[in-house]
Amino acid sequence: MNAVDIGSLAVNFKRGASPFSALDLEDLRVEEGECFGLIGGSGSGKSTLLRVLAGLQRDWSGGVRLLGRSLEVKRAFTGSLRREVQMVFQDPYASLHPLHRIRRSLREPRQINGLPFDERSLIASLDQVGLPGEVLDRFPHQLSGGQRQRVAIVRALQLQPKLLLLDEPTSALDMTVQAEILNLLQARRQDTGMTMIVVSHDIHTVAHLCDRGVVIKQGRIEQRLDRNGLIERADGQAW
């Protein structure tokens, strides 16, 4: 079974009075357990695709199956999909409640999904991404951008998703921490068999993580790349 199976997918927005096509895709499939890259410049449509797969962009047309279930246009995710599909946003501050301490931001998703809250294991998860346990008592504005991103990654991983969507997951991190986080994500994927889809404008990040990928330009698939193609693209840095 494919984790993602898109026969066709179109997303249209309005630019002033005129509609324009943000996405127009056909035949995109991501296998269970693989890491798949979406590469493209700003405005290419890659983040819009991720938002459709996360259930956040509900106005679309086409045929999309996710973890064996067909998505319905303009319908929110229900049942287990809400836990099985998790997303890490490019801007973690926007996804963390500014008036909630980090402990609450990590505890509430577990409670909503009926999972036990074990503070000891949570501290161990924070340690895996290089954060001390005292972060739990801080508010988002008291953390750096990189620290907030690592909290967001912990929050997504603690729900043990089957599909993890990553929108520029290391853009706020310095080079050393980037490598640590990417290696952590890769190890978690290998241990659990979860599927990852990584959005990035950085071909090196995608080549480091992914088994396959596509280059998206102006909402369309411009090129499909296997593992060797990703590495060659990274070496050549061609767009």
pLDDT score of 15 more than 80: no
| Pairwise pLDDT comparison (93 vs 5), residue with the higher score | 5
Residue 227, domain member (yes or no): yes
Residue 93, domain member (yes or no): yes
pLDDT score of 150 more than 80: yes
- In the predicted model, what is the mean pLDDT of residues 66-89? 91
Q: How many domains does the chain have?
A: 1
* Number of Cα atoms under 13 Å in the Cβ half of residue 112: 14
Supply 7's token pair.
């026969």
pTM listed for this prediction? 0.91
Q: pLDDT, tens digit, for every residue of 166-201? A: 998 877 677 777 888 888 888 889 999 999 999 988
Residue 143, domain member (yes or no): no
Where do we find the tokens 């956040």?
A: 56
Q: pLDDT, tens digit, for every residue of 94-146? A: 778 999 999 999 998 888 888 888 888 888 889 888 899 999 999 999 998 88
Q: What percent of the chain has pLDDT over 70?
A: 98
Q: Give me the pLDDT at residue 204, please.
A: 86
Residue 27, domain member (yes or no): yes
Residue 18, domain member (yes or no): yes
pLDDT score of 239 more than 50: no
Q: Could you list the residue range(s) of the whole structural domain that residue 204 is in?
A: 2-97+153-236
In this structure, what CATH number is given to the domain that contains residue 197? 3.40.50.300
Q: Give me the pLDDT at residue 205, please.
A: 85
- In the predicted model, what is the mean pLDDT of residues 149-175? 87
Residue 226, domain member (yes or no): yes
